[in-house]
Structure formats: structure tokens, C-alpha cells
Chain A
């Protein structure tokens, strides 16, 4: 035996064929890349049509290459080598700037054309007053029976929002006696400037949050200073805007919604996370590069690309002339639709998820619901459109194509997705946490309220945002419920008909009005739609990562 093996050693062990395995692996790789590659090619093609980068002066490209691309790559590489975490912080900061600015545009649209700032203030106060009453009731809840608490809080909300006797009284034919807080404030003849109202209502709470985040462990004085600083950033638009030729109201919204969150984030890193401070080099280089580059091309008179996604496209309505066609009413319609969808689908979906995860007994009925919710997630969207049309328009007599109708229909469409993702988030709350709460003598309601929901909230939010991303791209249900393809102005309320971004794109491509609509306007609309979608998804992904790291 030993003698045999000694002779074999010199000949080695031989080879085992792996050619099938290699082929299999290559096929798997192809399958993985298949979708990504094709969608990327399409998006590059569409973006090229919409933005037309090649129409710019070579000098324009060169300038931005030198002021933006080269310094950013250099700074990025430097920071990445020093500290990978700091690099991520920096990239997140620059992403936050982009996403926040985009959302501030949408918010400015709402404040300029849809909700008057005074109405907004009245609504906030009308909600704040009963909320304070509720908090007071909760603080003394062991002395008040449950029925008393319930009546007091419901009455506070009703009176504050509707007054005496409100819609219930009006339905019974009673005359109005006193307006609620909302009616009172919305009707005051003298009010501060709209931009100041926005700065106070949006910038104020952000200043409180920012002060607490930035001045975390450094005492009240630092917190106060940081808060004042944040508020100054929020209000600066209203003061500086007019000097630059921008209305103070949209300027304030842009500074409050678009600048304040990145400023808080950057200040927090700079003050509280010294080891990642170097990462701020990345956003500083990007912002500086953009500003210097813009200044340089202006001075050197290099023409930029003749992009179809420009200010006029974003702020004007559809026109039969491709050069003048814009996206504004469709963007506004989509924003209103998404708000309605979120208001409807979030509470209903989370409620269903909490019931199924925490309360439902494990029986045949629950299992049937389980299976059917998964099935509902796969029902074609056109069927939901049919449901909206049949139920709300034909049966309940709602007018066709309104924001409310579209929102509820799209809400029904994404409800199964919201339920499934919220259940996933609730299920991921560790069982020990529930046991700890029950072991303390908590009821199921107390456990859900104090332990399960706070712990799973960011996961639920992530799932809801991803589901909203599906709703924002849906076209078929909106066509079914009779939403107008083309609208020339923003809807001013939820009972008005509204278009939406995908619907407007569909209209442009189907009502063939000239080659420019096909080749330029449609791609421009798609680019805006995809940009909004990516912004929403990136928020969801950042939330999810933070949530997973936080555990």
C-alpha cells in the first residue's frame, strides 16, 4: 500500500472538469445584469434626449470638468482613503442637498399655488390646540375615566377644526354659532407676511429639532444658539430672495425645506462627530465646484446644454407647441395625489399590519386573509382603476378624475404592499422586547403603542415610501377613473380633477403633435418622473440602512 502511493505522488492528483460550472456561472451573471443593463441604456438614451449635454460648448464641459469633476474626484479619493465612514457621511450630505432641494421645489409649489400660508397656519394652530388638550388629558389620565378622555379629546379636535355646531349641526339644520380656531384664524384680516408665516411654521419646528440635534450634550446655551442659527437659515430666503429677484415666499420655502436639513446634518457632523469631519470636504467641493463653475461659464460666455428640462418646462403648463410645453400641473397633481395616497394608505395599511401581527389568532380565517393580501399585491393596476370607477364614480356618485378619487384608488392599489412591508417591520421587533413589556404587566395595547410601533416605525416608513414610489408611476388606474390627460392649471383642492406625471407623459406620447413631443418633451417628462422616484427611493434606502445599523 505504502509502496503504491509513493509512485503516485509524482503524477499529481489529476483534474476535475468545471466547464459546466463555468458556463452556469456565466449564465447566472448574464441573468443578473440583463435588466439592469437594458434599463440603464434606456435611461441614458432618454436623459440624453431630454438634457442634450452635447449641445453645450466644449468650453462649458471643460470648465465644469476642471472646477467640479476633478476636484470632487480628488477630494473623494482623499477622504475615502483616510476614512471610509467619513466618505459615506460626505456622500450622504451631498445626496441630502439634492433630495432636499428637489422636495423644497414641490413644497414651494404647494405654498404658492395650492395652500395659502394663512390657511396653513390656521390648520396647524387648529391641530395644535386640541393636541395640547389631549396631552393635558393624558397627563392626568389616571384621574379621568376612559370615556371622559375620549369625549374630551374628540370634542377638542372637532370644535377647534369646525367650530359650533360645525358640519354635524349644519346637517341637522342648526345655524352656525361660533367658528372654530381654524375658521377664526383663516378669516383674520391682518396677518404677517406669507413668507414669515412659512418661516415660523416650517423653520420654527426645524430650528427646535436642529438645536437639539446639534447642541446635543452641550447644554441649553449651545442648543439655543444652534436653534437660532437654523432658524436664521430658514428665514434667510425671505430676506435675501427679493434682492435676487425671487418672491420671498418660494425663496423661504426653498431655504426652509431645501437648505435647513442639509445644514443641520452638516452642523451635526462638524460639531458632534469630529472623526468624520473630514468627510464634509466632499460636499464642500461639490457645492463650491458648482458655484465656481457657474460663475466661470458666465464670465467666459460658454453656452450650456439646451436642456428640455429647464425652468420653463418645470413651471409652465402643456402647450400645443413643443417649445412651450411644460410639466407644472402634472407635477402638482402627482404631489397632491401622493399626499392623498399616503394619508389614506398609511394608517389603513399599518392598522391592518398591526392587527395581523399582534392581534389576529392563528386560525383558518387569518391564513385565508394572509394568502389573499399577497394575491391582492399582484392584481393588475387596471383592475384597481376599474374598482375606483365602479365603486366611487358609478356607485357613490363622485365626480370622475378628482385628486381624492385618484388618491383613494392608488391607495387601494398599494395597500397590500404597505401591509406586507409593515408586517415585515413589525415582525422584526425582537420578541424579547415584547416579553419585557408583557412581563412588566403591560396590556397588548400598551405594548403595541410603547414598544412595537416606535421600534418598527422606520421600517414601516421605508416600506410606505417604496410603495408610494410604485403609486407615483401608475397610469392605468388614473385613466380608468377618468383623470384628465392634460390640465392647464394646478388643482386647488382634493375635489378637483388633476393630471399626474405619468399621465401627462402618456398624453404627450399618444396625442402625436409633432416630432419634438416624441423626441424631446416625453424624455424630459420621464427624466423628471424618474428623478422624483429615485429621490423617494433614496430616502427609503437611507432610512433602512440607518435603521439596520441602529439595531
Chain B
């Protein structure tokens, strides 16, 4: 655990007391706050907030009334068994679910107070503020430089691309390994390097939020620990939301943890330490201790 674990959980009351759908959430955060109130530092206001978020694939309900407040500049882990809707929730944040015809979203999910499912929100513009890293490393079959510069290019970012590319690769802890071969193909790198390249690509246009969908599940243990270190560093400047099926990983790197269980429910959300050491719900405890899932 990092020093982050000493901080208290979100205190969303200031931002959400006016919201009538906030009752459950308030109870949960009270409990979480009670378990971790040994420090008076407050977590920043939530940057992502969902209220009563339902997602359906055709007739099937994938997410059931999700209420969550994700704090800024923290690592929030989403854990849960397969098919619990954790990836679906992540893809709601940058509206990648729009690309699936059968997918229908109701309720509210706001980024900095603006519901991203409002009619006047352009999903392309939204995705330019929310970067994403996928499960399988998926660099383009272009040079390393062009991979990192891709977002700058398509978003018409102003500035010195050479500098931004170098800076992004340094932040992704990849610069030392690839600085002499920026012109060679991104596909020639190892799996772990490819994933760090994808992270560099995602942070190059300087998004506000970084979504990670099981970013280390296709990597070997060494590459996994490199990516984990990287995520902890990134949290100083970015809000990171990471989906993982690896509970140790969530415990190691996250400040807050959300546990989704079968049926697309958010069963518990709070400080990572509290969730892992003293979960409130029996189902969560069973899941964390490996009794199912």
C-alpha cells in the first residue's frame, strides 16, 4: 500500500446532498469514512459521478442502478467477477459503448458535473478528454513516434510534437528503452513495452481521466509490475480508473476500490484498505477471500 491509503475517502456530501438519489451512496461513504477517518485530509471533489446508471444490452441488463463518485487524481480500481459489468461501466465513462448498437444507457454519468449522455455532448470530443488503455496492447502498425503522436495529430494539438512525444514516453517509463529507435514499428516491441507505448499514446494529448481496462492481464509478471508502478505515478496528475480481475493488483495500486458483483450491481465502494481488510458486505468478503468468482 502507498501513502495514499492513509487518506480518507470521498466526502461527497458537499456536492451531492441536493441529489435525491444519493441516499445509498451517503450511507456507504459514511461507513467507509468511519473506517478510515484517522486522517483529516479530504479527497478532492469527485470528477466522475454516476447516479442511477443502468445499461442494457438488448433485453439483458448489464449494469443495475450504479451510483458512484470517483475522486480526482486518485487511482480507483473496479474489481469483480467476469461478466459483472465492470468493463461496461468503464466504457460508459468515455461512451465507447455507443459503438455497440444493442447497448442502451439510462441514468446519469457526469464528468465534472456535465452529464456525458446529454444530447449536446459529442462523444468524440468527450473521448479527447478521457484517455483509454485496453486489455490487449494495441499499438498501431506505425512507428513508435507516430503511435505516440497519433492523438496529437488527430486532435490538432498545438505545440512541439517532438517534445510532447519525448515527455509522454518518459512518463510512460519507456523513453530509455526506445529513444534510439523511434522510427521502428511499435509492433516490434515486447508485450509490456507495447502496453507502456499505449499508455504513452493515451497520455500524450493530456487527457483529464485515464481509463484502463485490465491493462496488465496480458502481460508477464515483470511487465505487470512495471505497468503498476507507472499507474501509481500517473495518479499524481491524472484520475485513473482501472478495471482489474486481479485483487492483489487492486490492493497494491488503488486508493479507492469499487466491487461489482454478478448482476451488474455496485455492492461496495470505498477506501481500498477498508474494502480489503474490513468489507461491509458478506458477498464482498466472500469474493475477496476467494470463496467464489
For residue B134, which residues in chain A have a CB less than 8 angstroms away from its CB? Answer: 432, 435-436, 439
A432 pairs with B150, CB closer than 8 A: no
**Interface membership of chain A positions 416-441, coded 1 if the CB is closer than 8 angstroms to chain B and 0 otherwise:** 00000000000000101101111111
> Bound state CA distance, A390 and B153, in angstroms?
49
> Bound state CA distance, A364 and B148, in angstroms?
40
* Interface majority SS (helix, strand, loop, mixed), chain A: helix
A441 pairs with B124, CB closer than 8 A: yes
Given the known interface contacts A141-B156, A362-B101, A441-B151, the answer about A433 and B201 at a Cβ–Cβ threshold of 8 Å is no
The yes or no answer to B261 lying at the interface (CB within 8 A) is: no
Task: Find residues 426-460 in chain A having any chain B CB closer than 8 Å to their own CB.
Answer: 430, 432-433, 435-443, 446, 450-451, 454-455
A440 pairs with B131, CB closer than 8 A: yes
A441 pairs with B155, CB closer than 8 A: yes
Minimum C-beta distance from B23 to chain A (A): 34
Task: Find residues 117-158 in chain B having any chain A CB closer than 8 Å to their own CB.
Answer: 124-129, 131-132, 134, 136, 138-141, 150-151, 153-156, 158
The yes or no answer to B32 lying at the interface (CB within 8 A) is: no
For residue A430, which residues in chain B have a CB less than 8 angstroms away from its CB? Answer: 138
B132 pairs with A443, CB closer than 8 A: no
Cross-interface CB contact of B154 among A433, A435, A442, cutoff 8 Å: A442
> Bound state CA distance, A142 and B155, in angstroms?
9
**Interface membership of chain A positions 259-284, coded 1 if the CB is closer than 8 angstroms to chain B and 0 otherwise:** 00000000000000000000000000
Which of chain B's residues has its CB closest to A451's CB?
B140
Task: Find residues 85-116 in chain B having any chain A CB closer than 8 Å to their own CB.
Answer: 94, 96, 99, 101
> Bound state CA distance, A362 and B124, in angstroms?
21
The yes or no answer to B198 lying at the interface (CB within 8 A) is: yes
> Bound state CA distance, A441 and B154, in angstroms?
8
Task: Find residues 143-199 in chain B having any chain A CB closer than 8 Å to their own CB.
Answer: 150-151, 153-156, 158, 198
Cross-interface CB contact of A440 among B99, B136, B141, B201, cutoff 8 Å: B201
Given the known interface contacts A142-B158, A433-B140, the answer about A438 and B96 at a Cβ–Cβ threshold of 8 Å is yes
Cross-interface CB contact of B151 among A142, A435, A440, A443, cutoff 8 Å: A440
A436 pairs with B140, CB closer than 8 A: yes
For residue B201, which residues in chain A have a CB less than 8 angstroms away from its CB? Answer: 436, 440
> Bound state CA distance, A109 and B255, in angstroms?
73
For residue A441, which residues in chain B have a CB less than 8 angstroms away from its CB? Answer: 124-129, 151, 154-155, 205
A439 pairs with B154, CB closer than 8 A: no
B140 pairs with A442, CB closer than 8 A: no
Which of chain B's residues has its CB closest to A362's CB?
B101
B-to-A contact residues, CB < 8 Å: 94, 96, 99, 101, 124-129, 131-132, 134, 136, 138-141, 150-151, 153-156, 158, 198, 201-202, 205
> What are 15 sample pairs from A and B whose C-beta atoms fall under 8 A apart?
A142-B158, A432-B136, A435-B134, A435-B138, A436-B201, A439-B94, A439-B96, A439-B131, A439-B134, A440-B127, A440-B128, A440-B151, A440-B202, A441-B125, A443-B154
Given A437-B150, A451-B140, 7 extra CB contacts under 8 A: A437-B140, A439-B131, A441-B126, A441-B154, A441-B205, A450-B150, A455-B141
